[in-house]
Chains A and B, each alone.
Chain A
Amino acid sequence: MTLELVLFIVLGAIAIVAALGMLFSTNAIYSALFLILNFAVIAVFYLILGAPFIAMVQITIYAGAIMVLFLFVIMLLGAEQLRQTEQLLRWQRPLAVILGVALLGLASFVLLSQGIGTAPGVPPAADLFGSPGVIGDRLFNKYLLPFEVTSVLLLVAMIGAVVLTISGERKKKRQRSVRREGPPV
């Protein structure tokens, strides 16, 4: 058992336990913190897999920006715990567990029966593999159009978030003022 394998098993166990912790925490804040731990472990996996740039992006965007947004919304709404409601569909939980396990089994079977990754595999040749320079070169040459489309996507998301969170009163007030003053010229 090499050192690398031991590292993989330990990190994998932490990732799975963190995911389980997210799944079963009753408090949403704890769920978010477990998810941050999971993201950090996955960033370490990216480093092992020769993707330092993606690892840093993972930390800054996922653990930094996205999860802070989650924590902010949880605390803003005070929605750490739900009111206890009666179970609407009694058979849903056992069925969900059975289907989940079946999905895991099927996915593992299909992926492994293809013989993916059982070959020794070519280790990445250069030290530069996955470095910011290589990623940037590929991003701005081969993937320039998708990159530009991404900026439109982000703009749409920004406008959507602003429109959805405008409070109802302000919207009503604006409609009233429009009605009083006539349509804007």
Chain B
Amino acid sequence: MIPTSYYVILSAILFTLGVLGVLLRRNAIIIFMSVELMLNSANLAFVAFAREFASVDGQIIVFFVLTVAAAEVAVGLALIVAIFRNKSSISIDEVNQLKG
């Protein structure tokens, strides 16, 4: 059986890649996909700990995280479409009208 710590390390690596995606990319859709990657790495850690402690509760939490991710994607993509209608671009550098 593979130790849980390996899964936790893998999850940390994937989470870091997601963070880098949010910080480095300028395309709003790719930033959204990076957020999904981070949610997924957290899910992986949850499932690994569910096995570690032989409890199903961790898997239930993953179920709820999935629901939140679905809701977030629906609203987020609607926002992106609305921004694209206004600016005809989804580069986050061009969304700066609140800047003084």
Binding site for B on A (CB under 8 A): 4-5, 8, 12, 15-16, 19-20, 22-23, 28, 31-32, 35, 38-39, 42, 45-46, 48-51, 53-54, 57-58, 61-62, 65-66, 69-70, 73-74, 76-77, 79, 82-83, 85, 88, 92-93, 96-97, 99-101, 103-104, 107-108, 111-112, 116-118, 120-125, 129-130, 134-135, 138-139, 142-143, 146, 150, 153-154, 156-158, 160-161, 164-165, 167-168
Contact = CB atoms under 8 A, between A and B. Distances in A.
Interface residues of B, number: 72
A99 B37 CA distance: 18
Contacts of B62: 51, 54
Nearest to B86: A168
Given A16-B13, A58-B66, A135-B56, A124 B24 contact: no
B70 A154 contact: yes
Interface in B71-96: 71-75, 77-82, 84-85, 89-91, 93-94
Interface string B4-33: 111111101111111111011111011011
B16 A107 contact: yes
A23 B20 contact: yes
B55 to A, nearest CB: 9
Contact of A8 (B6, B16, B33, B63): B6
Contacts of A156: 71
B24 A83 contact: no
A57 B17 CA distance: 23
A135 B63 CA distance: 10
Contact of B91 (A16, A31, A85, A103): A85
B36 A66 contact: yes
B54 A32 contact: no
Contacts, number: 224
20 contacts: A4-B2, A16-B10, A22-B37, A23-B17, A38-B14, A42-B44, A49-B50, A58-B43, A58-B66, A69-B73, A82-B90, A85-B93, A96-B23, A111-B8, A112-B8, A112-B9, A143-B60, A153-B67, A161-B74, A164-B78
Contact of B27 (A28, A51, A123): A28
Interface of B: 1-10, 12-21, 23-27, 29-30, 32-34, 36-37, 40, 43-44, 47-52, 54, 56-57, 59-60, 62-64, 66-75, 77-82, 84-85, 89-91, 93-94
